[in-house]
Amino acid sequence: MIDLTNMPASDIASGVQRGDLTAVEVAESYLQRIEKFDNEIMAFATVDREVVRAESAGQDHRLASGARLPLHGVPVGVKDIIDVAGLPTIAGFEPYRDRIAQRDADIVGALRSLGAVVLGKTHTTQFAVGDPAPTANPWNLSKSPAGSSAGSGAAVAARMAPITLGSQTAGSMLRPAAFNGVVGLKPTFGWFSLDGVFPLCWSLDHLGVYGATVDDVSLIYRSLTGAQRIPELSAPENPRIALLTEFLDMSDPEVADHTRAVASALETAGARIVETTIPEPFDYLFAVHQVIFAAEMSAVHSANLERYAEYYGPRIRTGVEAGSLIPAAYLLQAQRHRRALTRTFDRFLAGFDAVLLPTVSTEACDRDETGDRRFQIPATLLGAPAISLPTGLSSNTLPLGTQLVARRGADEQLLAIARWVSAAAPLVERPDLERVIQTSA
């Protein structure tokens, strides 16, 4: 059987639509790859092969009935805090092992109605916080795939799924994209419904999409938002891009050098690069995020922690306990500051087609941590769309990510700029997993 796991999602959909491929063939290729490699990578928490086969056969049947759907036959991995009817939503929490979802989350139902096939549930850190997931980084098995969307990032890098869903409340979409060397999009706050998603912090939670290319995540974004009915935006000929220098100063030298090299390549390709700093101090944004995050997380989890303390990981447990100590006035004041910051940054971001910074301050860290979340937090706090592109490799052959952020609501513009950037600064290919596993043995 032909290995279809290197095929872009858009080619899978068009191949199935034309009848060159069947959804069953595509799903079978991915199931075989999961079977072959997931004992090493541990990207998936749950895969029900018979359900996948039945669902893909159902999509072929819809095609035979005349339906031509934008995601016809595209397999999708779903982060295990997002409900998929009939599968457990474990969320990395042992007492939930048999907590079977009765219906699909909104986003899963939408993907299925667009022709996608759910492959399974991908591992997350416990409740999408900081205790590492069991997943290994497909570039180096001793390294972290980051978190919290560890399995979703690793599954795309390992070619176990062409598309996966993740979530971000601090840096959980973009950081796994950078560490695993894939494209990760976190749209504007509220763009994707959170109905059927286990909450972490109601005012900060975002859903997002991973893929191997900008075109693949753009296909999913445009299909989910209905934007496929309108022409795709093109980047301006000479996009105006801000390089945020304070983040270079906070990065490892190799990361800073890489980001400058990307900016230089973009300038050569015609971009107007403006070196600048953000309009308010980073420490201010970070503080506002951290207080809201801790207080909301505590509100979500305090009662459950009382009941299941022994099952909670040490990081989330201490976070919930400390967060419950925050006085109400501080939370309210943090929310006011968030609004004030959002106004300031809306004006700042409107001055550029996108701003550019490293996705993470370092290359992938060891597996007992999930990495530095600081650089992903501004876009989360401000609700602005952000995308991470795998623009290079470190001297240790680990991926380095470049982050682009645009003003709230300018998701289509961000995707157009990202497509332009990925042509000017080509993205790294996914790793040779067999070689990585042999090297690690």
Partner 1 sequence: MNRPQFAKSSTPSGRLTGGCSSPTLSWETLRKLREVVSAERYVLVKLHPKVTSTEIAAQLRTQAEEDYGADRVEHIAGQIEHLSEMMAEIARRELDLTDVPPDRSGIRDRDER
**Contact residues: partner 1, CB under 8 A:** 190, 195, 203, 283-284, 286-288, 290-291, 294, 314, 317-319, 321-327, 329-330, 332-340
For the chain, what is the HEC assignment?
CCCCCCCCHHHHHHHHHHCCCCHHHHHHHHHHHHHHHHHHHCCEEECCHHHHHHHHHHHHHHHHCCCCCCCCCCEEEEECCECCCCCECCCCCHHHCCCECCCCCHHHHHHHHCCCEEEEEECCCHHHCCCCCCCCECCECCECCCCCCHHHHHHHHCCCCCEEEEEECCCCCHHHHHHHCCEEEECCCCCCCCCCECCCCCCCCEEEEEECCHHHHHHHHHHHHCHHHCCCCCCCCCCEEEEEHHHHHCCCHHHHHHHHHHHHHHHHCCCEEEEECCCCCHHHHHHHHHHHHHHHHHHHHHHHHHHHHHHCCHHHHHHHHHHCCCCHHHHHHHHHHHHHHHHHHHHHHCCCCEEEEECCCCCCCECCCCCCCHHHHHHHHHCCCEEEEEEEECCCCCEEEEEEECCCCCHHHHHHHHHHHHHHCCCCCCCCHHHHHHHHC
Between 308 and 330, whose beta carbon lies closer to partner 1?
330
Smallest gap from Cβ 317 to partner 1, in A, equals 8
Residue placing its CB nearer to partner 1 in the complex, 325 or 350: 325
Q: Which is nearer to partner 1, 8 or 409 (CB)?
A: 409
Q: Least distance in Å: CB of 340 to partner 1? A: 5
Residue 122 or 125: the one with the smaller Cβ distance to partner 1 is 125
Closest of 334, 351, 400 to residue 146, by C-alpha = 400
- Cβ 85 to partner 1 shortest distance, Å: 19
Measured in degrees and rounded to the nearest 5, phi and psi for residue 397 equal 60, 40
**Closest separation between CB of residue 267 and partner 1, Å?**
35
CB of 167 to partner 1, least distance (A): 17
| Nearer Cβ to partner 1 (14/203) | 203
Dihedral sign for Cα 140, 145, 151, 156, please.
negative
Task: Tell me how far apart the alpha carbons of residues 150 and 204 are, in angstroms, rounded to a whole number.
Answer: 19
Shortest reach from residue 193's CB to partner 1, in Å = 9
Min separation Cβ 279 and partner 1, Å: 14
Closer Cβ to partner 1, 195 or 434, answer by number: 195
- Closest CB to partner 1 among 225 and 335? 335
Q: Is the CB of 20 or the CB of 284 nearer to partner 1?
A: 284
How big is the chain by its Cα radius of gyration, in Å?
20
Q: Which is nearer to partner 1, 383 or 392 (CB)?
A: 383
Q: Provide, rounded to whole angstroms, the least separation between the CB of residue 280 and partner 1.
A: 9
Q: How far apart are CA 156 and CA 293, in angstroms?
A: 28
CB of 92 to partner 1, least distance (A): 20
Query: Is the CB of 38 or the CB of 411 nearer to partner 1?
Result: 411
Closest distance to partner 1 from the beta carbon of 421 (Å):
33
